[in-house]
Structure 1
Amino acid sequence: MTDPRYIRNFSIVAHIDHGKSTLADRLIQLTGTVAERDMRDQILDAMDLERERGITIKANSVRIDYPAKDGHTYVLNLIDTPGHVDFSYEVSRSMQAVEGSLLVVDATQGVEAQTLANVYQAIDADHEIVPVLNKIDLPAAEPERVKEQIEDVIGIDASDAIEISAKTGLGIPDVLEAIVHRLPAPEGDRDAPLKAMLVDSWYDPYLGVVVLIRVMEGVIRKGDQIKMLKTGAAYKLDRLAVLKPSMTNIAELGPGEIGVFTASIKQVRDTRVGDTITHVKKPCAKALPGFKPSVPVVFCGLFPVDAADFEDLRTAIEKLALNDASFTYEMETSAALGFGFRCGFLGLLHLEVVRDRLEREYDIDLITTAPSVVYHVHMKDGTMDELHNPADMPDLTDVSHVEEPRIKATILVPDEFLGDVLKLCQDRRGIQEDLTYVGGRAMVVYDLPLNEVVFDFYDRLKSVTKGYASFDYHLTGYRQDNLVKMQILVNEEPVDALAMMVHRDRAEMRGRAMVEKLKDLIPRHMFKIPIQAAIGGKVIARETLAALRKDVTAKCYGGDATRKKKLLEKQKAGKKKMRQFGKVDIPQEAFINALKMDS
C-alpha cells in the first residue's frame, strides 16, 4: 500500500512521431522496471500492427518505482497515449485517470496540430503540464525558437522546459525529478467507500476480460465483491495486479493507484469505459462523471471475398469488437457482394487498422465498400432518419431535406504551401474561418463537410504540402446542403454497392469519372452494355461497353451480298434478344477498383 503523497500519475502527450513511446522506453529502462534482457524498443506498443506502422493505437499503462534524490521512493504511473486524431478518445480517457502531463515537443519541428489538440484535452482535464523538448541531439534542433512557439501558440510558460534526447537518454534523470517535484500528488480518502474509475478493458484468451482501473477513494482488495454502477453487474475479484508492463500480483490498491483486475467477466461489452466501480456492501454515494462515449464517424461495408468465409468473418468481428469499444457493426446484405457487415469507425486510420487486423489476425480476404458518413434525412412528415448506407435512401418525393456532418479542421502548414492548402479546402466545399501566423507557419481553420474529408483528403493534403502539413479535426454538428443519391446502373440494373451521396453541383463530375472507370473494369460480353450514372430518374453520365462478336460471314466466299446481309441481320436480332435477357457478370476486382476513389 503506497502513501498517496509518494504517487505521481501522468500521461505523455505529443504529436505523432515526436517521441512519446521512446521517452516511455527510457523512463522504464532508467528505473530498472524491466530487466535489460527483456527490454526492446517501444515496449508499450504490444500489437504487431503498432510495431509495424510505428504508431501507438491503444493507450498503455505502466507502473515505475523511482528512488528520488530526496530519499523517498515514488510510484510513478505512466499512461502512454496515441497521437493520431482517430484515437483521440483514447487520449481523453487516459487524461481523466491522471493528474499531470508531460508535453513532448520535437525540438526540430515545433508545435504541430495534434500537439495542440492533445494539450487542450490535458488543460480541460485540469492537468499540471511539464513541457519537454525532445530530439535535442539533432543538428536541426532549435530549442529557443520552439520554447517561444510553445508560449505563443499554447500559452504555457516554457522557460523551464526540460531539454532531452529520448533516443540517447540525455536529460532523462531531469524528467524523473520534474515528475516528482512539479506534478501534483493524487488526493483521496482511504476510509471512504470504494470509488474507482474503469479506464480501459481488453480481452485476454487465458484470463477473460482484464480491467484497468484508477482508484479515486477507498481501497480495493483481492476477493472483494464489486459492482459496476452503470451496468449494475456484480463480480468477485479473482486477481489484482499492477502493470510493470507484465502483470505483477498485489494485495490491495489504495487512493491514487492504477492497476488491473480480473473477475471472470466474459465480454468486454459488460465493462463500460468510464464506469464507476464500488463495493456491493458499501457502495459510494454518487458515480464519477465518466467519459463521453465515442461516436463512430465513418461507415463502410465489409464483405468476405469468398462468400463461404462469412461465418469466419462474423466470429472475427465479434472477437475484435471485444477489444475495441469504439468499433460498431451490424449485418447487411448486398445483391452484388452477398452477406457482410456495415461497420462504424472513428476515422479512416481506424478503418484501415481494423481491416488490417481482420485480414492478418483472422486470415480473411475482405472487400471494403466506399466509406460513407451518417446523414440526417428529414422527411416531409417531420420525422428524421439516420442514413448509414446511401443505398437505403428513401424516395425523394418524401424527403424535405438532407443534412450532412461538418467538421472544424485545424491545419498547420509552412508558408509556401498555403495557397495549395486553401485551394484544396475550397475544392472540398470548405468555408474558411480563420487564418493566423504562428512562428513562421500558417494556422488555417476551416469548416468542412466530413464526407469530403473521408475519402482521400489527408493523402491529398500531405502530397500538396510535401508532407509538412499537420491536420486535426473535430465534429461540430449537422448542416443542410444540396445532397443527392447517385446510382450506377449496369445494363439498366442498379448496383447497390456503388451507390453514393454526392453534392448536386459535383454529381456530374463524380458520375462521369465512375462510369469511365467501370467501362475499363467490366469485361465485354456478347452484347452491348450501357453503364449509366443516374440521380433519381435522370441519367447524368453514360458509357457503352461494345459487344464481342463472332464473325458469322466467315464461311461465305464471294457470291451474293444478300446472303451476308441476311446472316448479319440474324446476328443482330439474336444480340437484341440476348441483351433483353442478358445478365452481366461484374467481377469482384471491378468493385474493389471502382471503389478506390481518385481525386
Structure 2
Amino acid sequence: MPNPLNLIRNFSIIAHIDHGKSTLADRLIQRTGGLTDREMTHGQMLDNMEIEQERGITIKAQTVRLKWKAADGQTYTLNLMDTPGHVDFAYEVSRSLAACEGALLVVDAAQGVEAQTLANVYQSIEYDHEIVPVINKIDLPAAEPEKVRHEIEDIIGLDASDAVLASAKSGIGIDEILQAIVDKVPAPKGDASAPLKAMLVDSWYDPYLGVVVLVRVMEGVLKKGQQIKFMQAGTTHLVDRVGCMTPKIEQLNDLGPGEIGFITAQIKEISEARVGDTITDAKRPAAAALPGFKEVQPVVFCGLFPTDAAEFEKLRDSLYKLRLNDASFSFEMETSAALGFGFRCGFLGLLHLEIIQERLTREYDLDLITTAPSVVYKMHLSHSKNEEAKTIELHNPADMPDPNRIESIEEPWIEATIYTPDEYLGGILKLCQDRRGIQKELTYVGGRAQLKYELPLNEVVFDFYDRLKSISKGYASFDYAQVGHREGDLVKMSILVNEEPVDALSMIVHRGTAEARGRGMCERLKDLIPRHLFKIPIQAAIGGKVIARETISAMRKDVTAKCYGGDATRKRKLLDKQKKGKAKMREYGSVSIPQEAFIAALRMGDEG
C-alpha cells in the first residue's frame, strides 16, 4: 500500500565539492537506522566508486529511503537524493532536483558560499523548492558561522536566520536537520487514481538484474507485473521488480505518488533508459510527457589510443563495458598515422573525461595516450561544383575540410562564474583576458570577488582550471554554463616533423594565439624528440605558411678520427662524403617520435 502523501518528504543535498555532503548523507542514514555502525564499511556510503571516495566527489546520483519519527510522534518517509555537484553533470542534477520538493543547502562554515553551490541553488529555486540552509563543519577552528549566515543572505538572498548549525563528521545537529526537513519541506502532491506518470531520474547497469531504473512517481501507481511505456524512447517493458534503497535493497509491491524507488524490467541497454524520460502505463497512458527532457550532448572530444597496439581489442571491450553504465559517453573508431588504431570519444566535460580515463586505467588496467581535448565546432561551407552549401559539426581537427570552402567557423562559448579572495583577483583577471575572455561583471561580497566572464570553451578545456587553482593557491572556485556558438577567427594549426604532418598533434586555434601556441609546441617537441644522424626541422604551420620552427641538430660521427697527420684535403674529402650521406639520409630517413614525446606534448595544455 503506498504511503500517505502527508508523511513523505523528498529532498536533495546541494553543496560545493568538499563541503561535507556525502558525510552528512552518512550521518542521516546512521541516525535513522538505515545502517548500523558495523555495516558502515567505509565513509561516504552513497559513493560506490573508488574514484568517488578518493576524490571526495559524487559522480552518480544515488537515492536512499529513510524512516524518521518526528517530534509530533508520526513516522515520516524521507527520500534523500544524493546528486553530483559538478557542472559536467548539470542535466542529471536538474532531473534529480525536479524529483524533489525541497533541498538542504550545505555550506562549509570555514569556506563560505562557492560557485557550484550557487549554480545548483539557483536551479533548485527555479523548481520552487523549499531550501533549508545548513552551516556545516562548525567545529573547525577556522569556522565563522555568523559570517557564512550573512553570506547566504547577501549572495543567495535566502533567509538564514534559522539555518541549522551542524558538523556531519562529529554528528552535531543531525536531529535538528531531520526535524527541519519534516517541518519545512512540503509534502508531495499526486493522484493515485490518475494514469501513471513517473520520471526516470537515473539508471545504471547491474550484471545480474540488467538496467536498474531510478524513478519518482508523480501520478498513479507503479506496480510489479505492469506493462510500462517510455514516452521519449517509445519502448514498452514489463516490470519484474519494484523496490527502494534503504540503502540496502528492499523489494516492494508498488510505488505510489510522491514515492521514489527503483524498477527493473529486463532492459538490456542503458541507452534505452534515458535520464528525464517519462514512464507511463502502456494500456492507459498519460496524456503528455513530463517537461524538461533533453538529449545529453557530448561537449568535449578527444582521442584515446592504447600505448601498446596489441591492447586495441582490450580497449574496445573496456569502452563497451563502461558504456553499459554511462550512456552520456560516446565513442567511435579512428586511426592515426602516428598513434595507430584508437577511438574518438565524446564527454560531458573535462571532469567526465578525467573520470573515464582514470577508470579505464584502473579498472581495466590499460595504458593510454589521450590526444589534446577539442570542442565541437560548427563549419559553414560554401557550395562547390558538386555540393551545395551546408553546415557540418567538426569533432576532430584532423578532419577539417579544405579552407577555401569554409565561409565561417563557430565555436562554443561559456559563461563562467568565478569566486576568489581579493588578493588573487589581478592574476585571475589576466588569465581570463589571455584566454580571450569578455568581462560581464565584477562584484564584491565580503572579502571575496565574484567575476562573471564569457570565455570560448576551446580556451578552457586545456588547463584553465589548473591555472586558476595555482594562481589562487586553491581558493578560487569555478562554475560554468554554455551560452551557444559564436563566430571566431579560427584556423587549423598543423605540426610538421621532418616536413611530414603529424595528425595527432594538429589543433584548431584562434589566429591571434596561434603563433605563441605553435612556438610552445615546437620548443617542447625539440626537447622531447631524440637526435638522429640528420637534422630534423619541427614546424608549426597554418595552411602553407610556417609560423614557428625549431631544428634538432644532427648527431655527428667523427669520421676524421682515423686521419693522423697528412694533408688537410684527406680530412676535407671524408667530411664532404659524410655531408652527402647526411643529405641522402635526410631525404630517405624517417623520424621515430617516441610515445613519451607524444604524451608530454599532448599534456602541455597551454603556454602561459
Could you state the TM-score of these two structures normalised by the residue count of structure 2?
A: 0.96
| Correspondence list, 1:72-471, <5 A | 72-381=74-383, 382-471=389-478
DSSP 3-state at the match of 1:410: strand
1:206 offset after TM fit, Å?
1.4
Partner of 1:21: 22
Contact 1:275 1:290 survives alignment (8 Å): no
| Correspondence list, 1:2-41, <5 A | 2-39=3-40, 40-41=42-43
Partner of 2:572: 565
1:90 offset after TM fit, Å?
2.5
Contact 1:198 1:275 survives alignment (8 Å): yes
Matched, 1:483 2:490: yes
Partner of 1:555: 562
Provide the C-alpha distance between the structure 2 equivalents of 1:565 and 1:151, rounded to a whole number of angstroms: 85
Partner of 1:583: 590
| Correspondence list, 1:528-539, <5 A | 528-539=535-546
Provide the C-alpha distance between the structure 1 equivalents of 2:394 and 2:227, rounded to a whole number of angstroms: 44
DSSP 3-state at the match of 2:551: strand
Of 549-558 and 212-221, deviating more is 549-558
AA aligned to 1:446 is: Y
Matched, 1:62 2:64: yes
Matched, 1:496 2:503: yes
AA aligned to 1:318 is: Y
Provide the C-alpha distance between the structure 2 equivalents of 1:60 and 1:371, rounded to a whole number of angstroms: 29
AA aligned to 1:7 is: I
Provide the C-alpha distance between the structure 1 equivalents of 2:343 and 2:250, rounded to a whole number of angstroms: 39
DSSP 3-state at the match of 1:485: strand
1:178 offset after TM fit, Å?
1.0
Provide the C-alpha distance between the structure 2 equivalents of 1:537 and 1:43, rounded to a whole number of angstroms: 57
Provide the C-alpha distance between the structure 2 equivalents of 1:291 and 1:167, rounded to a whole number of angstroms: 37
1:563 offset after TM fit, Å?
2.4
Cα deviation, 1:335-377, whole Å, max 9, x if unaligned, reads 1111111111122111111100011111111100011111112
Aligned CA RMSD, in angstroms, stands at 1.3
Provide the C-alpha distance between the structure 2 equivalents of 1:525 and 1:60, rounded to a whole number of angstroms: 56
1:552 offset after TM fit, Å?
2.3
1:561 offset after TM fit, Å?
2.4
Partner of 2:386: none
Cα deviation, 1:3-53, whole Å, max 9, x if unaligned, reads 111110000001111111111111101111112210131110010111111
Of 491-500 and 37-46, deviating more is 37-46
Structure 1 gap segments, 5+ residues each: none
DSSP 3-state at the match of 2:38: helix
1:557 offset after TM fit, Å?
2.5
1:521 offset after TM fit, Å?
0.9
Provide the C-alpha distance between the structure 2 equivalents of 1:583 and 1:387, rounded to a whole number of angstroms: 31
Of 378-387 and 332-341, deviating more is 378-387
Cα deviation, 1:412-467, whole Å, max 9, x if unaligned, reads 11111111111111111111110111122111111111111111111111111111
Provide the C-alpha distance between the structure 1 equivalents of 2:396 and 2:205, rounded to a whole number of angstroms: 31
Provide the C-alpha distance between the structure 2 equivalents of 1:41 and 1:579, rounded to a whole number of angstroms: 61
Contact 1:304 1:367 survives alignment (8 Å): yes
Structure 2 gap segments, 5+ residues each: 384-388
AA aligned to 1:56 is: T
Provide the C-alpha distance between the structure 2 equivalents of 1:289 and 1:90, rounded to a whole number of angstroms: 14
Provide the C-alpha distance between the structure 1 equivalents of 2:545 and 2:573, rounded to a whole number of angstroms: 38
Contact 1:489 1:533 survives alignment (8 Å): yes
Provide the C-alpha distance between the structure 2 equivalents of 1:332 and 1:385, rounded to a whole number of angstroms: 18
DSSP 3-state at the match of 2:341: strand
Provide the C-alpha distance between the structure 2 equivalents of 1:416 and 1:580, rounded to a whole number of angstroms: 56
Cα deviation, 1:201-251, whole Å, max 9, x if unaligned, reads 101111111111111111111121212112222211221110111211111
Provide the C-alpha distance between the structure 2 equivalents of 1:555 and 1:19, rounded to a whole number of angstroms: 74
1:88 offset after TM fit, Å?
2.3
Contact 2:92 2:275 survives alignment (8 Å): no
Provide the C-alpha distance between the structure 1 equivalents of 2:314 and 2:72, rounded to a whole number of angstroms: 58
Cα deviation, 1:370-428, whole Å, max 9, x if unaligned, reads 11111112223342221111111112111112121111111111111111111111111
DSSP 3-state at the match of 2:473: coil
AA aligned to 2:234 is: G
Partner of 2:46: 44
AA aligned to 1:299 is: F
Could you state the TM-score of these two structures normalised by the residue count of structure 1?
A: 0.98
1:54 offset after TM fit, Å?
1.5
1:499 offset after TM fit, Å?
0.3
Structure 1 ranges of 4+ moved more than 3 A: none
1:263 offset after TM fit, Å?
1.4
Identity rate, percent:
70
DSSP 3-state at the match of 1:36: coil
For this pair of structures, how many residues does the alignment match? 599
